[in-house]
Amino acid sequence: MSDNLKLKSINQILDKDFFIPSFQRGYRWDDRQVEELLEDILEFTNNDKDQGFYCLQPIVVKEEAIVQNGEHQVRYRVIDGQQRLTTIYILLKYLKELLYEEHGVENIYDISYETRAGSKDFLKNICDELVKNNNENIDFYTMNNTFKIIEKWFINIIKNKRTTKRKFLETIMGSDKKDVKIIWYKINDNESEIDIFTRLNIGKIPLTNSELIKALFVLNTKEHNDRLKLITEWDNIEYTLQEPKFFAFLNDEEYDKPTKIEFIFDLLADIKNKNLEIENLYKEDDKYSFYIFNHLISSEEESKVLWKEVKQYFRIFNELYNSNTYYHLVGFLTNNGKSIKEVITLFNQNSKDDFELALKNLIKQEVLIKKDKTFDDLNYNDDREIINKILFLFNVISTLNSDYTKYPFDRHKMDKWSLEHIHAQNSKQIKKDEHKIELLKSELKYVKNKDIFVKIEALIYEFEKSQKIDSIVFNSIQDEIFNDNEYGDGSSIHLHTISNLALLSRKDNSALNNSVFPAKRDKIKELDSEGSFIPIGTKNVFLKYYSNDVKEAVQWNKEDMEAYVREIKEVLKDYLGENNEQK
C-alpha cells in the first residue's frame, strides 16, 4: 500500500497533530452540512448489511517536522478537509464521556490554526457552559452552532428511537461489523500547498475515484519517463472512451461517472474482488474500485501488472470496435443487457472463428422463440418484447451487411423504442374529433376510390359547420379505406404479426398516429430529413425496398408483408432457431 494514499479509521488519526495554514478560510459548515454527515453515518449504522465501512471524503495533508517543547514532532498541514476534521472533532467532543467509558479515549487529535490561535483552545473546551455561549467571532459562532446542532440531532434521534449514542459511536470508532474511514492523501514534500489547494477548490470534484486510482499508479511508478508514459496512455484511453459511438457499443446503461476509464476499473475490480477477502466493502460505493486497487498495489511491480491488465482491456475494446462484425454483434448483446465482461471472457477463451460463433450463439438465446410458437405466430399483443429484439437485430445485421456504416448504438441508447404498425393498427382508437379530422384530411391525398373521397369531404364539411363529427360515419369510412387495401380475406390477424411491424423510437412512433401507409411513409421521410434516427430496416419497409414488381406504392399489401418476412428470415438465418421456421 502506498504511503501517500491510505484508508485510515478515526482511531488511527486520534494521535495526530493537525495545522491549518493561513491560506484557508475558517470553519464554515452550516446546519445542512452537519446534519447530512450525521444522517449519512446513521443510515450506514442502521443498514441491514452485516459489514461495511462508511468513507469520508479525502483529507489532504503535508507532513512536516517541528520542534515543540524541545522535542522533535510530526505535524500534518491540512491542505483540504479542514471542515470535516473540525466537525468530527466537535462530534467526538460531544460524545467524550462515552468515548472514554467505551474506548478509554481521553484525548482527541489537535487542530491548531496559523491565523486563529484561539480556536484551538476554544475547541478543546467546547463542552464547557462558558464556552458554549461564546460567539465573539465567526469561527467561535460556527463551531458553537455545530455543537448545538449535534446536541439537538441526538436528542431527536434518541427520542424517535432511531439509534443510541453508544451504537452511533461504535460505528465511528469501528467494530467488527461497521467502521468509518477517511481517505488519507499525503502530498510529497516538493509539491506546492497553494497549487494543490487551488486545484482542489476551483470547482472540481476533489479526488474522485479515478484521481485516486491515478495517484496509486503514478506514485508507484518511480522513473519520470515511465510516469509520463503512463499518463499519456491514461489520457489516450480516456479520450477514446469519451467518444459516444465507442462507449455506446460497450455498455447500454447510463454511465454517470466523471471519467469513462472507470468503466475498465469497475470491470477489473469485480473480477479481482472474487479472489480477495476484503471486509466492509460495498460495490455501490463510488470509491469501490479504488478500494480494490488500493489493496492490490503495494509496489511498482504490482502497479505495472495491474496497469498492463487495464491496457489489455482497452486493446480488446479497440479490436472489437474496429471489426465491423464484432462491433455489431457485441453492440447488440451489450445493448440487450449482456455485460462486456462476459464478452471479453469469450474473447480470451476462443479463437477468432470460435469467438464469432460464440457471439452468435449468445444472440440466438436473446431472440429465442418459445417452443409453443413459430416465427409466424408472433403477435403484437403477446410477444412484443421478442419481436422488438428480432427487429432490433434485423436492423443491426442489415447495417452490418451494408458494409459501409456502423449501427449508431449511441443514438439507439438516446431513445425509447416501440413497434409501429406499418399498415395502421386501428384508427377507431382516436377519441378527439379534431384528431379525427386531421387524419381524414391526410387521407384525402392518398384515397383513390371516388366514393370514399366524397364521403371524407362531406364529413370534413359537416365538422367545419358544427365542430362535431359523427363517430359511426367516421369509423365506417375508416373501414372502407383499409378494406380497400389488398388483404385478401380482410382479416385483421395480419395487422399484429411481425410482417406488419417495424421498429421506431417512441417519439417518432407517436408522430405517425394511425395514418394510412402512404401518409406514414411521407412522415418517415420527413422525420429522416429532420435528423431523426430511422433504422435502416424501418426505412426500407416504407420505401417498399424488399418488395418485387411494385405496382402500387400507396398500399402495404399481403405481398409486401410476405416479402418483408422473407427478408427478415434471410438476414437473420444464422440467428433464428428451428422454431422460427414457417408452419
Name the strand (E) or helix (H) holding 312.
Answer: helix 300-322
pLDDT of residue 201 exceeding 70, the answer is no
- Tell me the Cα Rg of the chain: 34
User: Do 39 and 159 lie in a common domain?
Assistant: yes
User: Do 520 and 458 lie in a common domain?
Assistant: no
Are 289 and 209 within 8 A, CB to CB? yes
pLDDT of residue 248 exceeding 80, the answer is yes
- The single-letter DSSP state of residue 125 is T
Counting the structural domains of the chain, the total is 4
Q: Is residue 356 part of a domain?
A: no
Q: Is residue 106 part of a domain?
A: yes
Q: What is the pLDDT of residue 548?
A: 83
pLDDT of residue 398 exceeding 70, the answer is yes
**Considering the chain, what is the average pLDDT of its residues?**
84
Q: Is residue 349 part of a domain?
A: no
Give 353's contacts (C-beta < 8 A, 6+ positions apart). Answer: none
pLDDT digits (tens, 9 = 90+) for 383-397: 999 999 999 999 999
Lowest mean pLDDT among 99-103, 115-119, 304-308, 525-529: 115-119
Q: What is the pLDDT of residue 581?
A: 46
Q: What is the pLDDT of residue 583?
A: 39
User: Do 84 and 180 lie in a common domain?
Assistant: yes
Q: What is the pLDDT of residue 486?
A: 42
> What's the domain range around 399?
375-423+489-580
Specify the pairing of strand 501-505 against strand 17-20: unpaired
Does this model's pTM top 0.85? My answer is no
pLDDT of residue 204 exceeding 90, the answer is no
Q: Please state the φ and ψ torsions of residue 121, each to the nearest 5 degrees.
A: -70, -35
Name the strand (E) or helix (H) holding 502.
Answer: strand 501-505
Q: What average pLDDT does range 65-81 have in this prediction? A: 88
Q: What average pLDDT does range 17-23 have in this prediction? A: 86
pLDDT digits (tens, 9 = 90+) for 414-459: 888 989 888 765 555 566 787 677 777 766 766 778 888 888 888 8
- 3-state DSSP call for residue 163? coil
pLDDT band at 487 (very low <50, low <70, confident <90, very high): very low
pLDDT band at 498 (very low <50, low <70, confident <90, very high): very high
One-letter identity of residue 78: V
- Above pLDDT 70, what percent of the chain? 86
User: Do 240 and 115 lie in a common domain?
Assistant: no
pLDDT band at 380 (very low <50, low <70, confident <90, very high): confident
Q: What is the pLDDT of residue 50?
A: 55
Q: Is residue 93 part of a domain?
A: yes
Lowest mean pLDDT among 2-11, 14-23, 337-346: 2-11
Other beta carbons less than 10 A from residue 459's beta carbon: 19
Give 179's contacts (C-beta < 8 A, 6+ positions apart). Answer: 9, 52, 53, 54, 171, 280
Q: Where are the beta strands (DSSP E) in 229-307?
A: none
pLDDT band at 277 (very low <50, low <70, confident <90, very high): low
The residue behind cell 479497440 is 318
User: Do 114 and 144 lie in a common domain?
Assistant: yes
Q: What is the pLDDT of residue 554?
A: 60
pLDDT digits (tens, 9 = 90+) for 525-536: 998 999 999 999
Q: What average pLDDT does range 175-196 have in this prediction? A: 79
Q: Please state the φ and ψ torsions of residue 65, each to the nearest 5 degrees.
A: -95, 135
Cα separation values, 340 from 249, 251, 273, 297, 320, Å: 9, 7, 17, 25, 11
User: Do 516 and 453 lie in a common domain?
Assistant: no
Higher pLDDT, 19 or 134: 19
Q: What average pLDDT does range 213-225 have in this prediction? A: 80
What order do you get walking across the sheet with 178-186 strand by strand?
A: 5-9, 178-186, 52-68, 71-80, 17-20, 110-113
User: Do 542 and 406 lie in a common domain?
Assistant: yes
- Tell me how far apart the alpha carbons of residues 330 and 334 are, in angstroms, rounded to a whole number: 6
Q: What string of H, E and C letters represents the secondary structure of 236-300?
A: HHHHHHCCHHHHHCCCCCCCCCCCCCHHHHHHHHHHHHCCCCCCCCCCCCCCHHHHHHHHHCCCH
Q: Is residue 215 part of a domain?
A: no
In angstroms, how far apart are the furthest CA atoms of the chain? 111
User: Do 131 and 250 lie in a common domain?
Assistant: no
Higher pLDDT, 579 or 43: 43
Are 435 and 515 within 8 A, CB to CB? no
User: Do 393 and 414 lie in a common domain?
Assistant: yes
Other beta carbons less than 10 A from residue 582's beta carbon: 9
Written as nine digits, the cell of 539 is 426505412
The residue behind cell 469513462 is 260
Other beta carbons less than 10 A from residue 308's beta carbon: 9
> Distance from CA of residue 310 to its chain's centroid?
21
User: Do 381 and 446 lie in a common domain?
Assistant: no
* N- to C-terminal Cα separation, the chain: 65
Q: What is the pLDDT of residue 279?
A: 61
pLDDT digits (tens, 9 = 90+) for 355-365: 999 999 999 99
Closest by CA position to 430, among listed 493, 475, 473: 475
pLDDT band at 37 (very low <50, low <70, confident <90, very high): very high
Specify the pairing of strand 17-20 against strand 110-113: parallel
Q: Is residue 212 part of a domain?
A: no
- Tell me how far apart the alpha carbons of residues 165 and 181 are, in angstroms, rounded to a whole number: 19
> Distance from CA of residue 196 to its chain's centroid?
30
- Helices 471-483 and 450-466 cross at an angle (nearest 10°) of 160
User: Do 438 and 419 lie in a common domain?
Assistant: no
Q: Where are the beta strands (DSSP E) in 95-134?
A: 110-113
User: Do 418 and 438 lie in a common domain?
Assistant: no
Q: What is the pLDDT of residue 445?
A: 67
- Tell me how far apart the alpha carbons of residues 143 and 86 are, in angstroms, rounded to a whole number: 8
pLDDT of residue 262 exceeding 80, the answer is yes
Q: What is the pLDDT of residue 492?
A: 47
Written as nine digits, the cell of 277 is 477477502
Higher pLDDT, 408 or 175: 408
pLDDT of residue 344 exceeding 70, the answer is yes
Q: What is the pLDDT of residue 430?
A: 63
- Helices 352-366 and 324-334 cross at an angle (nearest 10°) of 30
Q: Is residue 197 part of a domain?
A: yes
- Tell me how far apart the alpha carbons of residues 76 and 15 are, in angstroms, rounded to a whole number: 11
Q: Is residue 308 part of a domain?
A: yes
Higher pLDDT, 322 or 134: 322
Q: What is the pLDDT of residue 482?
A: 60
